[in-house]
Amino acid sequence: MSDTKDENEITYEPVMAADAVGAGEHVPPTVTQKSLNRDILRMLQPPGWLWWTVFLADLAILATGMFALRNEIVYGIGVAGHTRPVMWASYVTNFVFWVGIAHCGTLVSAILFLFRSHFRRAVYRVAEAMTVFGVMTAGLFPIIHLGRPWFPYWLFPYPNQRQIWPNFRSPLEWDVFAVTTYLTVSSVFFLVGIIPDAAAQRDRGPNRFHRLLGHIFSFGWTGANHQWKHFYGAYLYFAAFATPLVLSVHSVVSWDFAMAQVPGWHSTIFAPYFVAGAIFSGVALVINLLIPIRKVFKLEHIVTPDHIEKLSKLVLLTSTIVTYSYLCEFFCAWYGPSSHERDMFVWRFFGHFWWAGWIMATCNSIIPLLLWFKRVRRNMVVLFVLCLFVNVGMWFERFVIIVGSLARTFDPAGWGINYRMSWTEAAILAGSFAWFFMYFLIFIRVLPAFSIAEIKETLPAPMRRKA
Amino acid sequence: MITRLVDRLLAPAPQKHPGVMGIFEFVDDATAAVRALRQVGHKDLSVYSPVPHHDLEHALEQGPSLVRWVTFGGAVLGLTGGFSLCIYSVTSYPLVVGGKELISLPPFVVIGYESMILLGALANLVGMLALTRLPQVKSKAPYDPRFSEDRIGIWVPCSGDAAARVEQMLRGQGAEEVKRHA
């Protein structure tokens, strides 16, 4: 400090030495602690025509999906297009797709927290909400796929009336443990992170309803020093648990396939390949959600092009990992001893489902190459469209792996019979998107969709700097 | 009826404990006030802030949170519980499948691992809530909505002459507002 400086002059020093670790670059100088509260809580104002239009359209799609599900419950699983040998089809594809979508939230909130990557602060709440709603959507599909959706509790670890327990050596039982643990831990992590922001909502919510919700979700938080100490003490361990969890969940999901002998499934690369794919599609969907939110709610100064660009670099990184995995699979099939495996991989791109294979390769490996260009990474319209392609590609990747492999198993007698998606399955798939977006649309209107407290940590804290 | 109930719930709690609350705008002022108060023996003060500040943590001489021991206990319980569940299930009804060992540890690792994370995370939550004394319907110390925005509050439990001295100290350290609760 200069000696000539006025004693009462306000100077600013970043909280928690954020500048020293590169956080300052993401903090626009116009944002203050007060304006941050105001801007983020402004999202809770009564919704306008745009929100209602989108919400009602969403509910209409959801109703169609529910009608299709009602048909399946009444007439049985036969209304789906499952045909021997393709008995796992769109429902399992949807399950893997939605579990994958759910992975990004934990990556952004937990893994990047452990790496002290400060850009996550502005985007992690949206990603976490996506995780929770993504797992809630994914969890529906094994139940829908059961055919008798009123018996899902048979999967839980308890003995039946003959004292036989579920088979703990089965990857399907591992899945039950992995997915329920993931839903529980990611929901807890999400709700714990909201506590300090819900307190801000309780104190400054636009109306009684929002203040009451803030009161409930803040648990009576006051921001006392002992609360912050234990909050961050616990937050670190939530992140430390969530990180290996996120890696294990999609590994376990991949083992549903890789533990089987089916050509195209039986591969040791599946676990890292699935995890990278999950993060790839999840980050792409976060970008798809953030771009309209920041525009509609006028939050471009909080979620800046820097944040979006960093996320798009993650998309590029995971795209290269996924592409490497595709090439590895092909190489192993070509170099390995199994003629079935070799035949399978040729069939993927030139057989009955050739179009799905090419959609997968184009959307996941070729289109994301555009992200090498900075102008693409910072152009919100192009990036939005590109990320839509990524998600289409990732759905087809799961389709190619699941349906493509089952349609070409060891027995040539089953090769001619190919799966065709029924309208029921298509409606349930559309309904699953509506189910996910219904929660998301409600969430952004009832609780702070951006972390007020964590973004504040990157703002300069006022210092009087006495001589 | 419901609106009155909500209003009562959201209204601040009547203050039962005597003390002085100082409200600060600047972090360095608040840090200096905490140091000065602790020097004269006020060790049981509470500091409210919208974000945690390292300076304040150092001034309060806060140690690491004990929540980690609760978390560790939960994780150990989950790990042993997951393996025990699998081993118990195969020994209580021995059913040999494919000539494999009944107690096949490699596949049980997944169950043990997931159970460790589940119980560890739940114990972490319970530990955090217990140590932060949450949930609470009403704050026991006086609370100001500015603490969730941009102000720092220092609450010093005291009464009588001590309260007058604390009031003076807080003003001297740059508090923009000092409130006394009798």
What CATH number is associated with residue B48? 3.30.70.120
What pLDDT score does B120 carry? 97
Residue A193's CATH number: 1.20.1630.10
Q: Among B47, B52, B113, whose Cβ lies nearest the Cβ of A248?
A: B113
Tell me the ipTM for this assembly. Answer: 0.93
Does the beta-carbon distance from A159 to B93 stay under 8 Å? Answer: yes
Residues B21 and B45 in one domain: yes
> Are residues B158 and B142 part of one domain?
yes
Residue A33 contacts B, CB cutoff 8 Å? yes
| B126 and B73 co-located in one domain | yes
Say if A193 is an interface residue toward chain B (CB within 8 Å). Answer: no
Q: Does one domain contain both B58 and B140? A: yes
Is residue A4 included in any domain, yes or no?
Answer: no
Chain CA centroid to CA B133, Å: 6
Q: Which residues pair with B47 in a beta bridge?
A: B154
pLDDT of B5 > 60? The answer is: yes
Number of structural domains found in chain B: 2
**Residue A177's closest CA among B117, B93, B74?**
B117
Mean pLDDT confidence for A299-319: 93
Which structural domain range is residue B118 located in? 67-131
User: Nearest-CA distance from B162 to chain A in Å?
Assistant: 22
Residues B148 and B96 in one domain: no
At A63 the pLDDT is 98
Is residue A168 within 8 angstroms of chain B, CB to CB?
Answer: yes
Domain-located, residue B2 = no
pLDDT band, residue A27 (cuts 50/70/90): low
- Rg over alpha carbons for chain A, rounded to the nearest Å, is 24
Same domain, B85 and B104: yes
| Tens digit of each residue's pLDDT (9 = 90 or more) over B74-112 | 999 999 999 999 999 999 999 888 888 899 999 999 999
Please tell me which of the candidates A37, A178, A242 has its beta carbon nearest to residue B149: A37
Between residues A1 and B87, which one has the greater pLDDT? B87
Cα–chain center distance at A320: 19
Residues 390-429 of A with CB under 8 A from B: none
Instruction: Indicate if the pLDDT at residue B17 is higher than 50.
Output: yes
Residue A32 confidence (pLDDT): 87
- Whether residues B23 and B46 share a domain: the answer is yes
In a domain, B3, yes or no: no
Most distant CA atoms of chain B, gap in Å: 82
Distance from CA of A380 to the nearest CA of B (A): 31
The whole domain housing A43 covers 11-155+168-463
Strand partners for A459: none
- Cβ within 8 Å, pair A234-B54: no
Cβ contact B51–A453 (<8 Å)? yes
Last residue of a domain, one of B131, B151, B172: B131
Query: How many Cβ atoms are within 10 Å of B96's Cβ, its own excluded?
Result: 9
Q: Among A108-122, A437-451, B77-91, which is the least confidently predicted range?
A: A108-122
Asked if the C-beta of A223 comes within 8 angstroms of chain B's C-beta atoms, the answer is yes
What pLDDT shows up at residue A41? 94
Tell me what pLDDT residue A24 has: 53
Interface of B with A in 118-137 (CB under 8 A): 118, 120-122, 124-125, 127-129, 131-132, 134-137
A212, A223, A241 member nearest B148 (Cβ): A223
CB contact under 8 A, A224 and B131: no
Q: Do B51 and A457 touch (CB under 8 A)?
A: yes
Residue B176 lies inside a defined structural domain of this protein: yes
Does some domain include residue B1?
no
User: What would you report as the CA-atom Rg of chain B, rounded to the nearest whole angstrom?
Assistant: 25
Flag whether residue B113 sits within 8 Å of chain A, measured between CB atoms.
yes
Q: How many helical (H) and strand (E) elements, i.e. helices and strands, does chain B have?
A: 6, 4
**A161, part of any domain:** no
How many Cα atoms sit within 13 Å of B60 on the Cβ side? 23
pLDDT at residue A1, rounded to an integer: 35
A233·B64 Cβ contact <8 A? yes
Contacts of A58 (CB under 8 A, 6+ apart): A434, A437, A438, A441
Q: Residue A402: is its pLDDT beyond 70?
A: yes
pLDDT of residue B137: 85
Whether the pLDDT of residue A18 is over 70: the answer is no
Check CB contact of A189 with chain B, cutoff 8 Å.
Answer: yes
Q: Is residue A163 part of a domain?
A: no
Could you tell me the end-to-end alpha-carbon distance of chain A, in angstroms, rounded to an integer? Answer: 8
Q: What is the pLDDT of residue A117?
A: 86
A21 has pLDDT over 70: no
- What residues in B contact A453, CB-CB < 8 Å? 50-51
Residue A463 at interface with chain B, using a CB cutoff of 8 Å: yes
Residue ending a domain, choose from B109, B131, B153: B131
B73 interaction partners in chain A (CB closer than 8 Å) = none
Do residues B44 and B26 share a domain? yes
B90 found inside a domain: yes
Q: Looking at this protein, which amino acid is placed at residue A163?
A: Q
d(Cα A175, Cα A255) in Å, to the nearest integer? 9
- pTM value is 0.91
* A227 within some domain: yes
Q: Nearest CB to A208: which of B6, B110, B128?
A: B6
- What is the tens place of the pLDDT at every residue in A182-237? 999 999 999 999 999 999 999 999 999 999 999 999 999 999 999 999 999 999 99
**A13 DSSP assignment:** E
Residues of chain A found within 8 Å of residue B93, distances taken between Cβ atoms = 159, 163-165
Q: B28 and B57 share a domain?
A: yes
Q: Is A96 exposed, middle or buried (0-12, 13-18, 19+ CB in 10 A)?
A: buried
In a domain, residue B8? The reply is no
Residues B39 and B92 in one domain: no
Residue A381 domain-assigned? yes
The total number of structural domains that make up chain A:
1
Same domain, yes or no: B119 and B143: no
Domain contains B4: no
pLDDT band at A84 (very low <50, low <70, confident <90, very high): confident
CA B118 – CA A241 distance, rounded (Å): 9
* pLDDT above 50 for A156: yes
Contact between chains at A237 and B54 (C-beta distance less than 8 A)? no
Do B22 and B109 fall within a single domain? no
A301 in contact with B at a CB cutoff of 8 Å? no
Write down the pLDDT at residue A74.
94
Helix (H) / strand (E) containing A12? strand A11-14
Q: Are strands B46-48 and B19-24 parallel, antiparallel or unpaired?
A: unpaired
Mean pLDDT, to the nearest integer, of A272-282?
93
Which stretch of A174-178, A428-432, A442-446, B159-163 has the lowest confidence by average pLDDT?
B159-163
The band of B27, judged by pLDDT with boundaries at 50, 70 and 90, is: very high
CB pairs under 8 A between A and B: 224
User: Residue B166 above 50 pLDDT?
Assistant: yes
d(CA B52, CA A432): 40
Please tell me the predicted confidence (pLDDT) of residue B6.
Answer: 83
d(CA B83, CA B103): 10
